[in-house]
Structure 1
Amino acid sequence: MRLLTAHRSKGLEWELVVVAHVQQDGWPDLRRRSSLLGADRIGLDPSGAPDLVPPVTSRALLTEERRLFYVACTRARKRLVVTAVASTDDEGEQPSRFLAELEITPEHRIGRPPRPLSLGGLVAELRRTVAEPTTSQPLREAAARRLAALAAEQAGGRQLVPQADPASWWGTRAPSTSARPVRDPDRPVPISASMLEALTTCPAQWFFGREAGGISAAHQAVNLGQIVHALAERVATGELPADVEALMLEVDAVWERLAFRTPWSRKREHDRVRKAISRFVEWHAVNPREFLDSETRFATAVEVDGQEIMLNGTADRLELTSDGDVVVVDFKTSRGAPSGPSVKANLQLALYQYAVDAGALDEQAGRSLRSGGAELVQLGISDDTPVAKVQVQEAHAADGPERQRLRLGLSRAATMIRDETFPAVPGPHCRDCTFTSICPARSAGSVTAQ
């Protein structure tokens, strides 16, 4: 099979020729052909002297287009197929006037042709025939023989029609399993706040990204957030002063190592970091609570619905209220802030509170601690306010509805891990998902079962 223009087909012949898409605005194409500087009009007069050639007339263009159509149609030895689209809209595509010059009444067909016009369509029809239980056995066997013949065709050591090989069909192979479980079955299921949020949003996305090695490179915003968090920790421990200019000197010391696409984006992000640091310094200066620790790693085991779960994570900052309760502070450098109801239901803060109440920090503090709530400190919001936006999540009671919802989420997450079943859940997060092509809920990814 060869795909050629009418010009390239001159002098060649085939048993079957298809002249496709013979539309009025494309064939004949009566637009004038000319180069930018009009070099096509340079010629010679009858005496041989250089002269300008008159532009080609519409009549001459029509004659040339008709000749090309004749050339294309006469390339067929036995069978000629000419196709065009007739739109129901007067302003839509219409067949070319050249069709009438064939002196054959066109056959108007609506819908798909009874037989496929592509190799992929042929394979699909044969596969459908083989798999259809109501089809007669001789016809199914004939279709299977055709598929086997197509699958056996090779060139240069590779299959020409790999889709005809049953080995490439979805659902024909046994599910693959891992010899090693996702998590050690003899130990508590480790669950962090980010893991819980990901499993609650879309378990399949979490599995593809975190367990199957499909995570993409971190966005530049992640690096900026790490800078702000590192400076906040050094200020909290007294290593650096709570001074904007002093902290910006630390930023400038590493800024050139960061890659930006454009100079203006580099300046924009530098200004945004300065604004975030200014807000942090202001928040730090007026914060009345006692500083306890920063960048604190924790891990504590809890039992939820008969399952042992290990809560783990890292808290940006821990502070004590006047009553001695622990408040977990989480710094945010994103451009937007969640709504009030979203903060109330925030799983990360809820898990931090649960970990405190479960004794995650008791050994470090030398006494039994109780959660006094948690809060998000928004440092990177894209507005001109000089102060950080503080979003508070009130303390959760041990038997309150918030704690019950969290425990239910933890139980479901632990069950998924133990069963190694990670379903795809469609939602707004699908817009930015990098695994759409293999997602069972969004594409032909039903071959992938997690």
Structure 2
Amino acid sequence: MLPIQISWMEKFLQKGTEITAPVPMTPPGTTGLGGFEVPLSKGSTLRSDASALNVGVLHLIPTLEVFPLLVDPKMYEPNTVDLSDHSELEYWLTILSEHLPDLVDKAVASEGGTDDSKRRGDAFARAFSAHLARLMEEPAAYGKLGLANLLEMREECLREFQFVDAYRSIKQRENEASLAVLHDLLMELDSLDEETRLLTLIEGVLAANIFDWGSRACVDLYHKGTIIEIYRMSRNKMQRPWRVDDFDAFKERMLGSGDKKPLPHRRALLFVDNSGADIVLGMLPLARELLRRGTEVVLVGNSLPALNDVTAMELPDIVAEAAKHCDILRRAAESGGLLVDAMTNTLDGSKEKLPSVPLMVVENGCGSPCIDFRQVSSELAAAAKDADLIILEGMGRSLHTNLYAQFKCDALKLAMVKNQRLAEKLVQGNIYDCVCKYEPAY
């Protein structure tokens, strides 16, 4: 584990102090579904500048198909929580209802706090509350209901009332604060031996995953401190063994044992979660480690916004900024078509031969915090055909859904447990407990 008092974190403190509430922001002009610009052409090169971002390989309305790496699609059930239990349904409906005022505030602020946005915010709150009330009285009103469906319904209601991205300003500010200290973190990681670095990377993913505006407990934390203070607290309270702790098995697969060194994975699909520290200080350093080992990396993001989850359309900009601080990320991004203009100087002082394996981005076909692998984008399905490692990160993708999903390739499921009821029910833990579940290929 990295020491708490280190330089990159001190810089993060300076940057993160201001991040306690969203700044109202006027939405840009949009032409496509979800408020994004329509891609100009398929297969065009992605640029590092945000002025004319053209994500040619991503479709805003993807063709959905079954994820090819599921062991048995017919037996697959994404939802971990059984909402047919009335007490369970009542609990989650109450959680969503209690979270509603904060969500409305963020949605209105994301569009400048105008009278029109306030009117639509009130209308959204009434409509979504009516859905919740009906489900409380008639759980089967909309057919078979899982937690993933419930959470997706909330996002669909937001879009119905023309809220493109309720957490846009928060995501931008947290991304900026995290990117400002990325270089220092990478330098610290490079000073560690291989085994310590791998553990530190996994700890970093888990600690950074605490930044989740979809969790009531985490929203309370945001109101009590800055993101760096929350990050420090998260790392400080993480102690092994975790509630689910398969790190040693994952380490043996990655590093081998004794004199035997394993072959690197060919391609890893990283299903990323939240913006800010989660993606920048958690998942990107892990992606960099895989790239260093010769593994192709595909960052898989949401097709449409959901809470503060990072979207596939936002990832190229984040990678482009991160690449300014790291040659490994830069060269991999160039190889994957995420950057056009090459920088020739060495950024991280590394003398090792840098990999030319690509770093790529695809969308998952979802507009929800969860993922149903029976319905993924055609781009993701195509990328999965050469993958032999899946990393599912975050509560929605690895706990609320897919905790028990079985895949044909190696799978690592990582999450900071931020829901007390789920922690007690599934892993007998609390808000600071971690899940690191590794499953070799079936």
**TM-score interval (norm. to shorter):** under 0.3
Structure richer in helix, relative to its length: 2
Largest Rg, 1 or 2: 1
TM-score normalized by structure 1?
A: 0.23
Larger relative CO (CA 8 A, sep 6+): 1 or 2? 2
TM-score normalized by structure 2?
A: 0.23
Structure richer in strand, relative to its length: 1
